[in-house]
Amino acid sequence: MQLDGSVCLVTGASGGIGRALACALAAEGAHLILSGRDEARLAETVDAVDTSRCLACYGGDLRDATTLNHLAQLAARHEASVLFNVSGANQLGLFESASDEDIEALIGINLVAPMQLTRRLLPLLRARPQAAIVNVGSAFGAIGHAGYVNYCASKFGLRGFSEALSRELADCAVRVIHVAPRATRTAMNSAVATRLNQVLGNAEDPPDVVAQAVLAAVRGNRKRIAVGWPERFFIRLNQMLPGVVDRALGGKLMLVKQTLQSAGAQE
């Protein structure tokens, strides 16, 4: 798929992967509609890209129907052909300590919002000669991990949504792509999450690495791509031999709980 000259709607553009992706798309010659929850940081993203490439930006919460409707209107006005669902949130902690509000908020931003925005844009994307929906998920959308139960549930759902929608749209020009990064150094991750990655020996990629992987997936018309090794191996292993991964992660459960308990005591 050609990105040069295309119009792309990018959610989560106020920082992290979304900002890096916006800059990478602008460098490819794409025109941008940018969305983010933090208007000040969204303005910083506009400053970071070639301003001539930014057609519109809108600050708002994707769990709000007004925000979704406004973005759909902007996409229609500028004839967008690619939707990048990047916006997301994270929660680290033991499941029993999560509130109903915690669960609802995370599922809302990570799963429900991308589904609702995608549905609003589908008639527009169907009318384009080539179009794509790119959902940025997580390696934890294929590997359940202690301490991230709510997050894994939302990202497993996003992966399932991507796969099912891709098959439903197989008879038209709209392509659905799912990208699963491993841990990424963004403000979305708390200091405790960073500490846990260090304790467990999990590598963290800079947002630019993920952005380039997303572009490669779009250019190559890949339906699904996982970023990072050995995460790609463990995703495949978890699909074929989940018991092996059970034992491997079970051996790290004490470290996870100790890190979370230590963080709670310090707070």
Active site residues: 151
Cα-Cα-Cα-Cα dihedral sign, residues 105, 110, 114, 116: negative
Query: Rounded to whole angstroms, what are the CA distances from 222 to 6, 59, 189?
Result: 18, 30, 27
State residue 227 phi and psi, 5-degree precision.
-105, 125
Strands (E), the chain: 7-10, 31-36, 54-59, 82-85, 131-136, 174-180, 224-226
Distance CA 159, CA 83 (A): 16
Identify the CA nearest to 83 among candidates 64, 105, 99, 62: 62
